[in-house]
Structure 1
Amino acid sequence: MRDFGGIVERAPARVVRPGSAAEVAGALREAAADGLDAVPRGRGHSTFGQSLTEGVSLDMRGLAGVHAVRTGDDGTVHAVVGAGTTWREVLDATLPYGLAPPVLTDHLDVTVGGTLSAGGVGGTSHRHGPAAANVTSLEVVRPGLGTVECSPGVRPELFDAVRAGLGRHGVITRAALRLVPVPDRVLCCTIPCRDAADLLRVQRTARAEHVSGQAKPADGGGWRYEAKAVLHDGAPPPGTTETEELSYLDFADRLRPDVAELVALGEWARPHPWGMVFLPGDRAAALIEDELRATGPGDVGLSGVVLIKALRAGGLPALAVPADPVLLGMLRTASPGCATVPAMLAANRALLHRARAAGGARYPVDAVDGEASGYA
């Protein structure tokens, strides 16, 4: 069995597809009795075997489904969803009400449970923080302890430990996601930037609901920087050179045609040695520039992406990030004729070393060094 990373392969002793929290609890008990690890797996979008095991693989897609869209006693509107539900399935249920989660993943075909276990950074995280900071309650199965509910007011220590906890403190089986109103259409703005510092300035100052940035290979060598700002209303930010109006759903699902093309080209199935780190805001621009000076297009692959995203910290104790954090994602693809998988992993190790020396951290934040997180 492989995951999206395509680097690690593991054959589970058995695969269980639970259809309820009680069945998850039973699978955990049986695994423990047999001396086996039990690892939840949604769509297998981990990049270095985190969703794989030689023990019991819990196929969480059996827990897919949006159970309710309702208003709580405090007036908060939320969707109650199974952990195996994809973000696409969440939107299918909430958009008819003109609502959506405040933070979405760029790729909608990953599961809610997996995203919340990692933290979940999205284009609106500069306003709302990670996806896991926008959950009102969770149902969790703890090994040996059964099924429990947790929230800010009920077992808050567990609630804080499980969100971005990478499954170390229990298996998320259901989540109540906060919802916010969204418009029918949005305006997508492209803003060329001089350098990494200019890109981060645009992200921090643009009056936009969604901001993101990339470094792309420049004609003649080197890299050029580009910010994207998405507005629900109002005028384009200064420096905008291109605009496109899209339906909210088309914008949220903007990667779908790209993924289809990558599948057709064979790039989607190639190894993806991704390296992602949080950098402290006051040093991020210099660190990004240094990283890219030592990186050529072949070092990230034909379909590789250099993602740069300033975000708001707070609300998620398990996600230990530096002050004013900036996410740098070297989303590498081991394309033919480009750097090898070992070379890409070595570059990830060097990036993590530099990030930590500057006060940064890995994303997802993991208590285990090395191989378990794709930097070995």
Structure 2
Amino acid sequence: MRDFGGIVERSPVRVVRPGSADEVAEAVREAAAEGLDAVPRGLGHSTFGQSLTSGVSLDMRGLAGVREVGGRHAVAGAGTSWREVLAATLPRGLTPPVLTDHLDVTVGGTISAAGIGGTSHVHGTQADNVLALEVVAGGRVVTCSPTERPELFDAVRGGLGGHGVITAATLRLVPAPERVLSCAIPCRSAGDLLRVQREARADHISGQVKPSEGGWRFEAKAVLYGDGGEPPPGTAETESLAYPDFADRMRPDVEELVALGEWARPHPWAMVFLPAPRATAVIESTLAEMTAAGLGLSGVILVKALRTDSVLFSVLRTASPGCAPVAEMLAANRRLLDRALAAGGTRYAVDSTG
């Protein structure tokens, strides 16, 4: 069995496809009695085997479905994709405040990994916007929230399944805009990119570094919810989009990558959190030793300034034909991690830094 990363392979003793929280609890108890790990797996979008196991694999897609949409909340099974959440909430004019760029990942999976999106500089992580959880912990089904079993609630969010298996989540919702204005802002350098992100008054912020003939090209994206906002200084291009189209903006790219075979290739991804004062130096040092071949034909470099005075730096490599091999990409990831740790940063635990 492989995950999206395509680097690590593990064969489980068995795959269990539970259809309820009670069935998850039963599977966890049986695995424990045999001395086996029970690892939940949604759509398998981890990049270094985090959703794989040599024990019992719990296929959580049997727990997909939005059970309830209230005034400002939704209750979704852990195996529900964020695409399915949006399909249930948008008809009511509501949306989760934080969405992943790629919608075909599950609620339980991203909450277990924290879940970062373009609005995280305003709203925090997806895990920060959970109101309550249903969890299998200690072999039984329990609920937890900021007021009920708060220690378990805090441990499970971002806990990568180590403290319990999420089976359902109550998600905070906010009003969804009808349209957004996406503003592309060319930047001169990594430092300039971070400055633009910090200064732009936008609902959604992101940044990319792209290879070019002259080295690297930097671009910030500032997205204003509603169509009447004033583009930030330096904006070179704007695009007005319906909010559902903006939320699902990756779909055409993914379809193209699937058609080209790139989506199925190994993805040695490196993602690190950097302290803002040292982020520019780490990014520049990493780019100085990189080439387009080390990134891959469909690789992407993302830079995201967060509200916690930290920066998420993501080098999302693809081991394309004719580019650097997987081992070389993994070695570059480890050098990035060493550089990040020396600067006081840390890794994002769903990556492939090894």
User: TM-score of the superposition, structure 2-length normalised?
Assistant: 0.98
Structure 1 residue 344, shift from structure 2 partner: 0.6
What displacement does 1:55 show? Answer: 1.1
Identity %: 73
Shift of 1:11: 1.3
Map 1:102-121 onto structure 2 (within 5 A): 102-121=97-116
Kept in 2, the 8 Å contact 1:119–1:364? The answer is: no
Residues 230-252 of structure 1 deviation map (CA, whole Å, 9 limit, x = unaligned): 11131111111111111101000
Choose the corresponding residue for 2:196, options 173, 198, 202. Answer: 202
- Letter of the structure 1 residue corresponding to residue 222 of structure 2: A
2:252 and 2:333 map into 1 onto residues whose CA distance is 28
Q: Do structure 1's residue 350 and structure 2's residue 326 form an aligned pair?
A: no
2:200 and 2:93 map into 1 onto residues whose CA distance is 24
Q: By how many angstroms is 1:142 displaced?
A: 0.8
Corresponding residue of 1:369:
none
Residue by residue over 1:110-150, the C-alpha shift from the partner in whole angstroms, topping out at 9 and shown as x without a partner, is: 00000000001100001011111010100110133x11111
Q: Which residue of 2 aligns with 1:185?
A: 179
The residue identity in structure 2 corresponding to 1:68 is E
Q: What aligned pairs does 1:123-134 form with structure 2 within 5 A after superposition?
A: 123-134=118-129
Query: Which amino acid in structure 1 is aligned with residue 225 of structure 2?
Result: H
Residues 326-349 of structure 1: per-residue CA shift (max 9 Å, x gap): 000010000011111001110111
Match in the other structure for 1:319: none
**1:270 equivalent in alignment to 2:248:** no
Residue 224 in structure 1 maps to residue 214 in structure 2: no
What is the distance in 2 between the residues matched to 1:200 and 1:80? Answer: 36
Q: Secondary structure at the match of 1:152?
A: coil
The amino acid that maps onto 1:140 is: V
Secondary structure of the 1:327 match is: strand
Name the counterpart of 1:317.
none
**Secondary structure of residue in 2 paired with 1:268:** helix
Q: State the alpha-carbon separation in 2 of the partners of residues 207 and 44 from structure 1.
A: 35
Give the equivalent residue in structure 1 for 2:317: 332
Aligned to 2:159: 165
Q: CA deviation at 1:201?
A: 1.1
How many Å apart are 1:219 and its aligned residue? 2.3
Residues 48-91 of structure 1: CA deviation (Å, up to 9, x unaligned): 111111111100000000011114xxxxx110000000000000
Is 1:7–1:273's contact at 8 Å kept on the other side of the alignment?
A: yes
Deviation at 1:286, TM superposition (A): 1.5
- CA positional deviation for 1:205: 1.3
Counterpart among 256, 266, 272 of residue 251 in structure 2: 256
Moved over 4 A (4+): none
Q: Secondary structure at the residue paired with 1:160?
A: helix
TM-score, normalised on structure 1? 0.92
Q: Which runs of 5+ in 1 are unaligned?
A: 72-76, 314-323, 366-372
1:293-328 deviation digits (Å, cap 9, x = unpaired):
111111110000001001123xxxxxxxxxx11000
Q: Which runs of 5+ in 2 are unaligned?
A: none
Structure 1 position 374, deviation (Å): 2.7
How far did residue 216 of structure 1 move? 0.4
Pick from 318, 334, 349 the counterpart of residue 364 of structure 1: 349
> What's the counterpart of residue 80 of structure 1?
75
Alpha-carbon distance between aligned partners in 2 of 1:164 and 1:364, rounded to the nearest angstrom: 9
- Deviation per residue, 1:152-173 (Å, 9 max, x gap): 1111111111100111100000
Q: Using the alignment, how far apart are the partners of 2:224 and 2:54 within structure 1?
A: 46
1:34 deviates by 1.7
1:274-313 pair list within 5 angstroms: 274-313=269-308
Distance in 2, matches of 1:125 and 1:33, equals 40
CA contact (8 A) 1:123 1:211 kept: yes
Q: Does 1:247 align with 2:242?
A: yes
Instruction: Quote the residue 2:135 is aligned against.
Output: 140
SS in 2 for 1:28: helix
Query: SS at 2:84's partner residue?
Result: helix
Residues 91-119 of structure 1 show CA distances to partners (whole Å, capped at 9, x for unaligned) of 00000111100000000000000000000
Query: 1:364 Cα shift?
Result: 2.4
Aligned-partner Cα distance in 1 for 2:23–2:35: 18
- Could you tell me how far 1:202 is from its partner in structure 2? 1.1
SS at match of 1:216: strand
Q: Which whole-Å deviations, capped at 9, do the CAs of 1:240-271 have from their partners, x for residues lacking one?
A: 11111111010000000000000000000000
Secondary structure, counterpart of 2:141 in structure 1:
strand
State how far apart, in whole Å, the 2-side matches of 1:264 and 1:143 are.
Answer: 44
Deviation at 1:200, TM superposition (A): 0.8
Establish whether residue 341 from structure 1 lines up as the match of residue 306 from structure 2. Answer: no
| Contact 1:129–1:312, Cα closer than 8 Å, also in 2 | yes
| CA shift for structure 1 position 375 | 2.4
Q: Distance in 1 between matches of 2:66 and 2:273?
A: 32
Q: Distance in 2 between matches of 1:205 and 1:125?
A: 15
**What code does the residue aligned with 1:354 have?**
R
Q: Secondary structure at the match of 2:194?
A: helix
